[in-house]
Amino acid sequence: MPLARRLGLADAVFIGLGSMIGAGVFAAFAPAARAAGSGLLPALAVAALVAYCNATSSARLAAQYPESGGTYVYGRARLGEFWGYLAGWGFVAGKTASCAAMTLTVVAYAAPGLGQPWRSVLAVGVIGVVTGVNYLGVHRSALATRAIVCLTLAVLALVAVFGFSSPHVSPWTPFRGGGVLEAAGLLFFAFAGYARLATLGEEVRDPARTIPRAIPLALGLTLVVYAVVAVVLLVTLGPDRIGASPDPLASAAPSLSPVVRAGAVVASLGSLLALVLGVSRTTLAMARDGHLPRFLAAVHPRFSVPHRAELTVGMVVAILATTTDLRGAIGFSSFAVLAYYAVANASALTLRRDEGAAPKAVAAGGLAGCAVLAFSLPVASVLSGCLVLGLGVAAYFVRRRVTTR
C-alpha cells in the first residue's frame, strides 16, 4: 500500500529546517571551536560546501526516484543492491543512535538536576510522545515541526540581538589550521538533516519539482542561521571561551539563559521528530526489500504511515536512551552519515544529462568531501563507525549466502 502524498513545498522546507536547526546549533560549536580555534568560520564554510554538494546530488536523485528510503533507493538503482543496503544500514544505525542522543539532550536541558530512575522515565515519555505524533500521520508531524522551527528561530534571534548589543571581545586566537577539517566534520553533523526530505519522497506532492527546490532552500536558510550564531559567539565569547563552555549560547546571553535552555529543548524535540520520521521510512524501504524483517513494511490503513517501523524504532531508541551513554555514539553517527552521503554522491555521478544530472564536479566534490571529513573525525569515532558498518556488511553477505542455499 503506497503512502499518501500530503507534503507541499512549505511543509518540506520546514521539515528540512527542523532536521537541521536542532540540537546541533546548541552543542556543535563548542567542540568545533576547541578543534579549530579562530578557524571556526572556515570550518563552517567547508561543512556547508560539502553539504551543498550532497544536497544537490540528493535533490537530483530524489527527483528521479520519488520513493521512501533516500540513498538506500538511489544506491540500489544506480550502483547495485549492496551499495544501497550499505547506505540504508548506515543511515538506520547512525540515526537511531542520534535519536537516542536527542532524547537525552531533551532530558538534560529540561530537567538538569533530575536523577535516576526519573531521568529514564522522562526519556521514555519523550520518545513516546514523538512516536505518537508521527504515528498519527506525517501531515500532523509537519505542522508540529513548523511550530517548533518558528519557536527555535525566535530564540536564536533573541540571542543574536543580545549578543550584538553586548560588549565585544576579539574573535581571533591562534589559528589551529589542522583542526579545521575535524571541526568541519563536527559541524557537518548539524547540517546533515537536509536529505531527510529525500526519505519522504513517497509523501511529497509533485516530488520531481518540490524536492529539488526544498533541499537547497532549507540548506541555504540553515547556513544563514548558523553563520549568524557563529559570528555572535565569536564576538561575545571568543574561540577559547566557546570551546570551554558546555552551553555557549547561554554563556553568550547569560540574562537569557532560561529562554536559551527552553529553546534547546524545543530544538532537540524538532530534530527528534524529523529524525524518527526519516529512520522509520528508511526502515520501511529496507523491510520491503527483505533486508529487514518484512513485518516492518506494513502501512497503517487509516493514517497511511509505516506504523510498525515507527513503533519499532521508538522502542529501540527508548531502550538505548535508558541504558546507554551515547555521547561517544554521536561521533559514530557523524561517520555513518558521511558514509551514507558518499553513496549518494557516487550514485549521482551515474546520472545522465537527460535525467537532470548536475555538473559532475559537484557529485565528485561531495564524494571526496565526505571521505575527507569522515576520516578527519576523532580516531574513536572512525573506529566505531568502521566496526558497525563492517557488521552490517557481514550480515548482508551471510543473509545472501543463506538465501542462495
Contact 116, 227 (CB under 8 A): no
Which pLDDT score is estimated for 197?
A: 63
SS3 per-residue string spanning 17-61: HHHHCCHHHHHCHHHHHHHHECCHHHHHHHHHHHHHHHHHHHHHH
pLDDT value at position 390? Answer: 93
**Full set of structural domains in the chain with CATH:** 9-404 (1.20.1740.10)
DSSP character string of 90-151: HHHHHHHHHHHHHHHHHHHHH-TT--TTHHHHHHHHHHHHHHHHHHT-HHHHHHHHHHHHHH
Collapsing DSSP to helix, strand or coil, 10 comes out as helix
Residue range 340-395, pLDDT digits in tens: 999 999 999 998 887 777 788 999 999 999 999 999 988 888 898 899 899 989 98
Mean pLDDT of 87-92: 86
pLDDT of residue 201: 58
Q: What phi, psi does 398 have (nearest 5°)?
A: -65, -45
Can you give the pLDDT at residue 342? Answer: 94
pLDDT the model gives residue 389: 92
- The mean pLDDT value for 114-131 works out to 86
Query: pLDDT band at 9, cuts 50/70/90?
Result: confident
Q: How confident is the model at residue 176, as a pLDDT?
A: 53
> What is the pLDDT at residue 343?
94
| pLDDT score for 78 | 92
Q: Mean pLDDT throughout 207-227?
A: 81
The pLDDT tens digits of the residues spanning 286-304 come to 788 777 788 888 887 777 7
- pLDDT tens, residue by residue, 33-58: 888 888 888 999 999 899 889 888 88
Band of the pLDDT at 325, cuts 50, 70, 90?
low
Q: How far is the first Cα of the chain from the last one, in angstroms, to the nearest whole number?
A: 31
Cell of 369: 568531501
Burial label, 384 (beta-carbon count in 10 A; 0-12, 13-18, 19+): buried
**CA atoms of 310 and 390, how far apart (whole Å):** 25
Whether the CB-CB separation of 25 and 190 falls below 8 Å is answered with yes
pLDDT (0 to 100) of residue 47: 92
Q: What is the mean pLDDT of the chain?
A: 81
Q: How far apart are CA 281 and CA 312, in angstroms?
A: 12
What is the CA 13 to chain-centroid distance, rounded? Answer: 14
pLDDT band at 172 (very low <50, low <70, confident <90, very high): low
Q: Is the model's pLDDT at 141 over the cut of 60?
A: no
All cell numbers assigned to 233: 559567539
**pLDDT of res. 37:** 81
The cell for 120 is 529514564
d(CA 67, CA 6): 14
pLDDT tens sequence across 247-287: 788 788 888 888 888 888 888 887 787 778 778 877 887 78
pLDDT category, 173, cuts 50, 70, 90? low
Prediction pTM value = 0.80
* Per-residue model confidence (pLDDT) at position 345: 93
Q: What does the pLDDT read at residue 367?
A: 95
User: If we measure between CA atoms, which residue out of 62, 31, 30, 32 comes closest to residue 47?
Assistant: 32
pLDDT at 200 over 70: no
Contact 219, 55 (CB under 8 A): yes
Please give the share of the chain, as a percent, with pLDDT higher than 90.
13
- Which of 347, 32, 3, 36 shows the shortest CA–CA distance to 180? 36
Q: How confident is the model at residue 100 (pLDDT cuts 50, 70, 90)?
A: confident
CA distances for 341 relative to 22, 49, 156, 261, angstroms? 20, 13, 28, 32
Cis peptide before 117 (omega within 30 of 0): yes
- Of 142-151, 234-243, 260-269, 367-376, the one with minimum mean pLDDT is 142-151
